[in-house]
Amino acid sequence: MAERATRRKRGSVRAPQRRPFQPKQRAGVRDVEVGRRVRAIRLERDMSQSALGKLLGVTFQQVQKYEKGVNRIGAGRLQSLAEIFDVPISAFFDEKKESGDHKGTLFELADSAGALSLLRAYSSLPDQRLKRALVQLATAMASRYGEQPED
């Protein structure tokens, strides 16, 4: 102990300089929504996370973090995404909502590859009767196995 104290007195061992506390900014609700929209647009274009990551110069894990809202997307990266997807930057942001209820927005509903696949299958059906039958089937399944969807 005495040796350690002596060394400090002589100045041969310095304590690391401390920086003022700066909390790491966490992704917020808006970041999650932007990530959700990035995912929806990527899935709409049939692009993998790896392919998008390659175009952005990041790993697919980073793309996952962006899409989940774990990591914030900076302005430059957002501009790159808009150019890659050929959409305006505003496509990643929420339009004004009448109510605070976000459940059931288009981007939340189309947040999975399965939902987009179902939408594509529906839109490719040539006959209105077939489309109605698909909606009735999905509605019946939802009422039996999940929540009743709203019209």
Is residue 113 within 8 A of residue 69, CB to CB? The reply is no
Q: Where are the domains of the chain?
A: 26-93+101-111, 112-151
For domain 26-93+101-111, the CATH class is mainly alpha
pLDDT in tens, the chain (151 residues): 555 555 555 555 666 666 666 566 666 888 888 998 999 889 888 899 999 999 999 999 999 999 998 999 999 999 999 999 999 998 888 665 544 444 455 666 666 677 778 888 888 888 899 989 988 888 888 888 876 555 5
Rounded Cα–Cα distance for residues 114 and 120 (Å) = 10
Is residue 85 within 8 A of residue 91, CB to CB? The reply is yes
Q: Note the Cα 124 to chain centre separation in Å.
A: 27
Rounded to 5°, the CA angle 52-54-56 comes to: 70
Nearest Cα neighbor of 122 from 112, 137, 111, 108 is 137
In 10 A of CB 113, how many CB atoms? Answer: 11
Q: Tokens in use for 102?
A: 């976000």
Looking from the CA of 15 toward its CB, the CA atoms found within 13 Å total 7
Nearest Cα neighbor of 84 from 105, 63, 58, 56 is 56
In 10 A of CB 15, how many CB atoms? Answer: 6
Instruction: Write down the pTM of the prediction.
Output: 0.56
